Amino acid sequence: MTNLSTSEVPIKVQHHHSHETAFSLEGKLILITGGGSGIGFEIAQCMTYAGARIIITGRREDVLKEAVTQLGKNAHYFVNDVTDLSSLEGLVNNIELAHGPIDILVNNAGINMKKPALEVSDEDFNRIIQTNLNAVFALTRACAARMIARKSGTIIMISSMAAYYGIDRVVAYAASKSGLEGMVKVLASEFSPHNVRVNAIAPGFIETNMMKTAMSSDPDRMNRALNRTPMGKFGKPSDIGWAAVFLASDAARYITGVSLPVDGGNSIGF
């Protein structure tokens, strides 16, 4: 017979999920910024397949409307420009009034700019930081306050290989994504006692309009990216979508503060 002091209670037997429920997002409400196209849309699609209810945001109503039509009856949209920081508290409030508590936030909206560093103006630099970093923090703060009060929630940032190593001509973008990586660790520490997890996904080179724009005029860059990717191919937006489903689900309940590369091995390629 073991002696237990009153503070040493035996570990409770954990409730065991079946694999369907562990990976399910059934009934969860997910907010995805920039969800009308590219990676954000595929995250929305995969999360819909996993049973979630989806709110996508973006600036173009026609794109959002079309996306929601494709996603089906569990998807809704709100027109919102994430760089309008003073709108974000109101956005979260309106979403929760109409649809209930946001369980999962996916900070996906982002912009890129390819220019040699010496040609990047302060205005250029600020524009990228405003979308990719300042807006992510402001929206995360608005959602996290409510998640913390409810003692439940998960936040996912979309980082980039540009935060991992020195890709030339993306100085502002790399600074913004490196900022996200730091934010993930701090927020994961601060929010863990409140049962709110914070993680990032770092996509490798994924076939979207953003990547096509960055690569189409620059075949050398495209070949370099492919050559250092052990799997020898670019990723699909749904590869990011399924990783997001996993990180958002209970299957990942002990994972917080990480940045998960989804990159065909790009970050470890030689």
For ligand NAI, the closer CB: 36 or 264: 36
169 binds ligand NAI (CB under 6 A): no
Task: Using the CB atoms, write b or e for 14-36: b if 16+ within 10 Å.
Answer: eeeeeeeeebbbeebbbbbbbbb
Q: Which of residues 75-134 bind ligand NAI (CB under 6 A)?
A: 81-83, 108-112, 131
For ligand NAI, the closer CB: 131 or 256: 131
Distance CA 167, CA 114 (A): 10
178 binds ligand NAI (CB under 6 A): no
For ligand NAI, the closer CB: 160 or 229: 160
Site string for ligand NAI, 50-79 (x = CB under 6 A): --------xx--------------------
261 binds ligand NAI (CB under 6 A): no
> How many other CB atoms are there within 10 angstroms of residue 186's CB atom?
11
Q: What is the layout of strands, in order, in the sheet containing 259-262?
A: 75-79, 53-58, 29-33, 104-107, 153-158, 196-203, 259-262
Contacts of 237 (CB under 8 A, 6+ apart): 38, 39, 41, 42, 43, 206, 207, 208
- First-to-last C-alpha distance (Å) of the chain: 55
For ligand NAI, the closer CB: 40 or 179: 40
221 binds ligand NAI (CB under 6 A): no
77 is known as an active-site residue: no
Active site residues per annotation: 173
Residues in contact with ligand NAI by CB under 6 A are: 33-34, 36-40, 58-59, 81-83, 108-112, 131, 158, 160, 203, 205-206, 208-211
